[in-house]
Chains A and B, each alone.
Chain A
C-alpha cells in the first residue's frame, strides 16, 4: 500500500487493467494538492496518460470514475459522481457527471477514483467491496437493459445497498451517444462515455463500502455545512422539489428557450404548451408516488412516477427532468406529454443519452421534412414530426446500431457528414456533440455552451440565470461581477459571466457538488466562499476562493489543451451552429432577434482576451500557461504547432 491518510479525500486511487485483471493503488495525494477533486484529477491523468491519436473507443483510452473531497459528507448537494475519458462524440474532452448514491459509497469503500484501463477479453463487471476487488463475468448481463442489470447485480451480490453504474445495449453497441446510468434513472449523460465502457467490455461497476470519510476539522466543517444549509430552510416544498426541473417549462417557453422542431422555432405552439403545462401538474398530482433525493441534498428534485392511466399505464420510473421535455416535446415536436416519460425511461433502459438520441432523430426528421432523406434511406420509415412510434423505433435502432440507426448512432454531426446532401446545416451540434441547449435567445448561455470544452452542454460555463432569475443589477455585480446578468440579449459582460461560471461549475464538478444548490441557481445559495470553507475544513488544507479559482482555471487549461492536441479544435469550433447565425428568431418573446457572426466574433475576442488566449486561434498563450504553473502544456502545444 502506497497510500497516505488524507481527510475529505479517501486517500487512494484504484487502477484496474481490464486486459490482465491486475489492480494497482496510487495515493490520491500525488494529485490532490495541485488538482481539484474527481474531474480535476481525472482530466490531468487523461492529459498525461492518453496520447493524441488514441481511438476513443479503443483499449488505450481510459475511463475514470471519480468522486470529490466533499462526497460522502454533509456538504449540501455533495451527491455527484464524475466520469471522464476521451470522448467518442467530439474526439476531445469527455466529462460527465451524475447524481446518485454511487459517489458516497465509493468513498466509504475507501477510494476517490477508479481508473479503468485496457479492454477485457469478454464482458465483465467490476465489483468492489471495501478492500475486495474482483472482475466478475458479465456474459449473462450482456444485452440486458440498465434496469435489469442493476437488479441482477444487487440480487447476485445479495445486498440492496450495492451501488451500480452500468451501460445498456447502446453502450455495448458503441452508439456514440451512449451514457452510463446510475441508480436506474440518473445518468452520466453527455459525451458518450457509455460507449467507452462498452468498448472496454465493462458492463457495470458495482461498489459497497462500510468505511467512513474523515474530516480534518469536524467542528469547523459542521458549522460551514449548517451555515450553507440555511439558504434552503423554509423551502419545505419548493417548486423545484414539487415538479423537478420541469418547473422551468413556462419560463423557457416565455423566454424562447425550447428547441422546437430541431431548433427551427424557440417555443412550442400555444396549444402544445398548454397540454404540456397541464401534464406537468397532473404528473405531480397523480403520477408522483414520492420525492426522491440523494445524499446531503437539502432540496431534492427527483421524483418517482407510477403512470396510472392512458397508453403508458403501469410504467414506473424516476420522473423526467426538463431536458426530456426540450428533447421530445421540443426537438421532435411530440404532442403527447406522457410519451416523454415513456421514451425517457426507454432511453434510460437502453443506456442512451436523451439529448443525443433526440439530436440525431431531430436532424433526420428535419432532413425528411426538407426532402433530403426519404423512406429509401430510413428502412422505410416516414419521419414525420412527433410520430411516437417512429421515435421509439429509431431509438431502438440507434441503441442496436441496426439499419438507419447505425448512422444515427454516430450523433447528428457525424451522421450529416456521412450522408452529405447539404444535411450538415440541420445538424445542431457543438464540436460534434448534439445539443438540447438553445443558443440564440440568451447570449451568455449560448457562449457558455459554444466554448464548453466537452462540446456543448450547460454545466461547464453557461449561466442559467440569464433568463430565469430576478436578480437586481447591484446583487448581480456583487456576486457575479456583471450587471447585465439577467438581460439575455445583451452582449456586454457576458464573456466575464461565462468566466465566472466556468470556475463555479468546475469547482462543483470536482468537489462532487450539485450546481443547483449553488450560486448557479440563486445568489442566496452557497457560492465559492462557502465551498472554499467546506473544502478547507474537510481537507485541512487552507484554501481561499482565489485558490479555488486558480485550481478551476488550471482544469480549464488542461481541457483546452487536450482538445487542441486530440481534436485539433480552434476558434472556428467555438461558433454556434450555422442556423443560429443565419436565422432570426421567428416568433415569441425574442422574435426578430438575430445573432450575427460579427457579434460572435466580438464575444470570442473578449472571451479569449480575458483568458489570455490567442484571439486568432484560441490557443492559450505561453505566458498564461506558465502563470498557471503549466509550462509542460505550453511546451506540448509549441511542439504540436511546429
Chain B
C-alpha cells in the first residue's frame, strides 16, 4: 500500500464509496482500495491498496472505464490531487 499526504482532500470519503462500488456493486468502504485517514485538524491521508489487503480489493485503475470512479466522483475542488495520485502509481504497478 502507498500513503499519500494530501492538501486538497476534503475528507469526504466519496472515493471510498465509488471504489467499493466498482469492486463489489455495493457501497461498502471497508472493501475499497482507497482509505482516507486523518481529520480536518491533522489533515487527510490517502492510502492506496495496490494489492489485496484484508477484505480490500487491489486497485485496478477501474480498468475498462473511461475514468476511475474515485476521480469521477471526487469533489471538483480536490480532484486534481486525486488524479495525480491515482494516475501515478497505477502506471508504475500494472495489474
Name the residue of chain A whose CB is nearest to the CB of B72: A226
Count of inter-chain pairs, beta carbons less than 8 A:
107
Given contacts A108-B29, A212-B24, A213-B26, contact A296 B40 (CB under 8 A): no
Which B residues are CB-close (under 8 A) to A304? 40-41
Q: Is the CB of A73 within 8 A of B75?
A: no
Q: How far is the CB of B65 from chain A (nearest CB, A)?
A: 11
Within 8 Å by CB of A316, from B14, B26, B41, lies B41
Within 8 Å by CB of B75, from A104, A297, A316, lies A297
Q: Is the CB of B73 within 8 A of A229?
A: yes
Q: How far is the CB of B47 from chain A (nearest CB, A)?
A: 12
Which B residues are CB-close (under 8 A) to A226? 72
Q: Is the CB of A299 within 8 A of B7?
A: no
Name the residue of chain B whose CB is nearest to the CB of A221: B21
CA gap between A225 and B14 in the complex, in Å: 12
Q: Mark A78-115, 1 if CB is under 8 A from B, else 0.
A: 01000000000000000000000100100010000000
Which A residues are CB-close (under 8 A) to B39? 160
Name the residue of chain A whose CB is nearest to the CB of B43: A290
Which B residues are CB-close (under 8 A) to A236? 76-77, 79
CA gap between A72 and B79 in the complex, in Å: 20
Task: Assess whether A218 is interfacial by the CB under 8 Å rule.
Answer: yes
Q: Is the CB of A299 within 8 A of B76?
A: yes
Point out which of A225, A226, A235, A292 has the most chain B C-beta atoms below 10 A from its C-beta: A292
Point out which of B26, B27, B37 has the most chain A C-beta atoms below 10 A from its C-beta: B27
Interface size on A, residues (CB 8 A): 42
Which B residues are CB-close (under 8 A) to A229? 73
Given contacts A74-B21, A290-B7, A316-B41, contact A295 B30 (CB under 8 A): no
Task: Assess whether A529 is interfacial by the CB under 8 Å rule.
Answer: no
Q: Is the CB of A291 within 8 A of B28?
A: no
Which A residues are CB-close (under 8 A) to B26? 212-215
Point out which of A74, A160, A237 has the most chain B C-beta atoms below 10 A from its C-beta: A74
Q: Mark A247-290, 1 if CB is under 8 A from B, else 0.
A: 00000000000000000000000000000000000000000011
CA gap between A229 and B18 in the complex, in Å: 13
Task: Assess whether A234 is interfacial by the CB under 8 Å rule.
Answer: yes
Q: Mark A207-245, 1 if CB is under 8 A from B, else 0.
A: 000111111001000100110010011111100010000
Task: Assess whether B12 is interfacial by the CB under 8 Å rule.
Answer: yes
Given contacts A74-B73, A222-B21, contact A291 B10 (CB under 8 A): yes
Q: How far is the CB of B24 from chain A (nearest CB, A)?
A: 7
Which A residues are CB-close (under 8 A) to B20? 212
Given contacts A160-B37, A236-B76, A290-B7, contact A295 B28 (CB under 8 A): no
Q: Is the CB of B27 within 8 A of A73?
A: yes
Q: Is the CB of A300 within 8 A of B25?
A: no
Task: Assess whether A293 is interfacial by the CB under 8 Å rule.
Answer: yes
Task: Assess whether A456 is interfacial by the CB under 8 Å rule.
Answer: no
Q: Is the CB of B40 within 8 A of A300?
A: no
Name the residue of chain B whose CB is nearest to the CB of A160: B37
Q: Is the CB of A72 within 8 A of B12?
A: no
Point out which of B12, B25, B38 has the most chain A C-beta atoms below 10 A from its C-beta: B12
CA gap between A316 and B44 in the complex, in Å: 16
Q: Mark A469-505, 1 if CB is under 8 A from B, else 0.
A: 0000000000000000000000000000000000000
CA gap between A229 and B77 in the complex, in Å: 14
Q: Is the CB of A297 within 8 A of B12?
A: yes
Which B residues are CB-close (under 8 A) to A292? 10-12, 40
Q: Is the CB of B28 within 8 A of A212?
A: yes
Within 8 Å by CB of A295, from B13, B21, B24, B44, lies B13
Task: Assess whether A11 is interfacial by the CB under 8 Å rule.
Answer: no
Which B residues are CB-close (under 8 A) to A213? 26-28
Q: How far is the CB of A188 from chain B (nearest CB, A)?
A: 19
Point out which of A218, A226, A233, A300 has the most chain B C-beta atoms below 10 A from its C-beta: A300
Q: Mark B22-58, 1 if CB is under 8 A from A, else 0.
A: 0011111111000001111101100000000001000
Task: Assess whether A613 is interfacial by the CB under 8 Å rule.
Answer: no
Name the residue of chain A whose CB is nearest to the CB of B11: A292
Which B residues are CB-close (under 8 A) to A101? 13
Task: Assess whether A463 is interfacial by the CB under 8 Å rule.
Answer: no
Q: Is the CB of A232 within 8 A of B7?
A: no
Q: Is the CB of A74 within 8 A of B25?
A: no
Task: Assess whether B17 is interfacial by the CB under 8 Å rule.
Answer: yes
Given contacts A293-B12, A295-B14, contact A212 B31 (CB under 8 A): yes
Q: How far is the CB of A384 from chain B (nearest CB, A)?
A: 35
Given A233-B76, A292-B40, 17 other A-B residues pairs in contact with their CB atoms under 8 A: A73-B27, A74-B18, A212-B20, A212-B27, A213-B27, A213-B28, A234-B76, A236-B76, A290-B43, A291-B10, A294-B12, A297-B75, A298-B76, A299-B75, A299-B76, A300-B12, A318-B40
What would 22 A/B residue contacts be, using CB atoms closer than 8 Å?
A: A104-B13, A213-B28, A215-B25, A234-B76, A236-B77, A237-B76, A241-B77, A290-B7, A290-B8, A290-B9, A291-B10, A291-B77, A292-B10, A293-B10, A293-B14, A294-B12, A295-B14, A297-B75, A299-B77, A300-B10, A300-B12, A302-B10
